[in-house]
């Protein structure tokens, strides 16, 4: 963690409190999850991270509300993020000081992208925010556009710009505006939050279901600059 300087911090998000505890112990830092302890105890853990006792914290999605620290430089998601709403808020914590940040999504080796057939079959059976994450990690499309279309709506969706590119756009050389918009197959079945507000309200509650997943991370899916989406 030598590349993290001074006030800079790292958040590693995991899907279960068990993973949070285990990984924090391996990294020698603290963990944060919903039933960690009293409000005071949670505030103390957050304060120690903010004060730099440990520059890294391993957390579930419970770590979020009230965490307004400007110098988060790296946000890592270990395992598949389940929900695009939480995910966009979590990556939006990076680079709030205006100096950029990185988002890494590390998928387990067992992860396989959802096939087109499965995509069609699950169209109405799994939450839209999960489907957005499937697209996010499974397709070779601008990551920012994928998330932004969902969060900001089709009319205000944003793309990568020069010097602030996602890993997909970096690989391509640069993103060609309009390409994603014209691809109706890709967006089919992905309404934005503006169209699904009622549905998504039900999922605002943080989910901390136990995960069976091993946390072995092998594949770097996403690396992108300061993310404003969702902030």
What is the binding site for Zn ion (CB under 5 A)?
142, 144, 160, 166, 169
Within a 10 A sphere around the Cβ of 83, how many other Cβ atoms?
21
Q: Where are the alpha helices (DSSP H) in the chain?
A: 17-27, 39-50, 84-91, 116-121, 128-138, 143-152, 167-172, 179-182, 184-187, 197-201
**Least distance (Å) from Zn ion to the CB of residue 183?**
14
**Least distance (Å) from Zn ion to the CB of residue 175?**
5
Supply the DSSP symbol for 154.
Answer: G
CB-nearer residue toward Zn ion: 98 or 173: 173
CB-nearer residue toward Zn ion: 126 or 161: 161
**Least distance (Å) from Zn ion to the CB of residue 62?**
29
Q: What are phi and psi of 103, to 5 degrees?
A: -115, 125
**Least distance (Å) from Zn ion to the CB of residue 95?**
16
Cα four-point dihedral sign 15, 17, 22, 23: positive
**Least distance (Å) from Zn ion to the CB of residue 190?**
17
**Least distance (Å) from Zn ion to the CB of residue 177?**
11
Joined tokens for residue 176: 């060609």
Q: Would you call 78 helix, strand, or coil by DSSP?
A: strand
CB-nearer residue toward Zn ion: 32 or 87: 87
CA distance 57 to 30: 6
CA atoms within 13 A on the CB side of 43: 4
How buried is 4 (Cβ within 10 angstroms: 0-12 exposed, 13-18 middle, 19+ buried)?
Answer: middle
CB-nearer residue toward Zn ion: 114 or 229: 229
CB-nearer residue toward Zn ion: 125 or 140: 140
**Least distance (Å) from Zn ion to the CB of residue 91?**
13
Q: Would you call 30 helix, strand, or coil by DSSP?
A: strand
CB-nearer residue toward Zn ion: 54 or 224: 224
CB-nearer residue toward Zn ion: 99 or 174: 174
């Amino acid at each position: 963690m030598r590349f993290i300087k001074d006030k800079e911090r790292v958040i590693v998000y995991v899907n279960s409190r068990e993973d949070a505890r285990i990984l924090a112990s391996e990294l020698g830092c603290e963990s944060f999850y919903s039933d960690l302890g009293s409000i005071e105890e949670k505030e103390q853990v957050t304060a120690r991270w903010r004060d730099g006792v440990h520059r890294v914290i391993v957390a579930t999605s419970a770590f979020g509300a009230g965490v307004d620290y400007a110098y988060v430089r790296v946000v890592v998601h270990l395992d598949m993020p389940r929900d695009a709403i939480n995910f966009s808020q979590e990556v939006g914590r990076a680079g709030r000081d205006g100096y950029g940040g990185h988002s890494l999504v590390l998928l387990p080796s067992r992860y396989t992208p959802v096939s087109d057939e499965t995509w069609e079959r699950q169209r109405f059976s799994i939450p839209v925010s999960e489907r957005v994450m499937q697209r996010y990690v499974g397709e070779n499309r601008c990551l920012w556009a994928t998330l932004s279309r969902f969060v900001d709506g089709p009319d205000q969706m944003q793309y990568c710009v020069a010097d602030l590119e996602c890993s997909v756009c970096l690989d391509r050389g640069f993103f060609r505006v309009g390409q994603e918009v014209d691809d109706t197959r890709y967006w089919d079945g992905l309404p934005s939050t503006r169209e699904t507000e009622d549905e998504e309200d039900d999922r605002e509650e943080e989910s901390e279901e136990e995960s069976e997943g091993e946390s072995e991370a092998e594949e770097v899916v996403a690396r992108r600059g300061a993310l404003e989406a969702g902030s």
